[in-house]
Structure 1
Amino acid sequence: MQPRSLDEARRLYPAIGFALYAMDPKGPVTLELLDPEVSDQIPLSWTAATEARVWEQAFPPTPIEPVDQGSFMPPEGSPARAELAAAVDDPTAGLASELAAELAAEVGGLFD
């Protein structure tokens, strides 16, 4: 699942440390991740023009998977199915409707 904010990233990945900053006015945004369980780890780092783009770099969207005609749900065990199930299981994330709409748009809608 792709976090879209620092709060969401901290909720989805509670064991990972995050730093999100922009040091220069109107300059690039940097996101750093650190796993405290990995000793002597250098933080993973991404830099982009916007916060949205830096999140996309660090957590790329789930690839689109073909869905059988007449079927709404992606195949069992697929990353898209896991992402959709996680969003539905946690309605506070606010992603269930977004994911369903994205999926429906990619497969031609629910009622086609």
Structure 2
Amino acid sequence: MEILASRVLLRPADYGRSLTFYRDQIGLAIAREYTGGTVFYAGQSLIELTSHGEAQAGGSLWLQVRDVYGTQSELEGRGVAITRGAQKEPWGLHELHVTDPDGVVLIFVEIPGDHPLRRDTRD
């Protein structure tokens, strides 16, 4: 499989407190904001804080792939347990969840061609 992009996804217990910490106290620049989340520049990576989903200690690893459904088949063929099968999310992305041996959630993501992450939304 080919990984196209990645980011660290954090689901804090208190979104507002974490937003203030990363934005105001650490001083990270905002790459993108959306309803319920903020993505920060972090060198050659991104850190995304999200207020949806259950709070998780340790965060998640966000891995963009070309075909999340094909990735699921590939992983199943390798004997990898699927935590949550590939499906379209309310925010428009197609996601597949796998949990590593230490409990870190790997979120494999396919971004459809019509999603705002794939389109230039500037005037």
TM over 0.5: no
The structure with the greater share of residues assigned to helix is 1
Q: Between Structure 1 and Structure 2, which shows a larger proportion of strand residues?
A: 2
When normalised by structure 2's length, the TM-score is 0.27
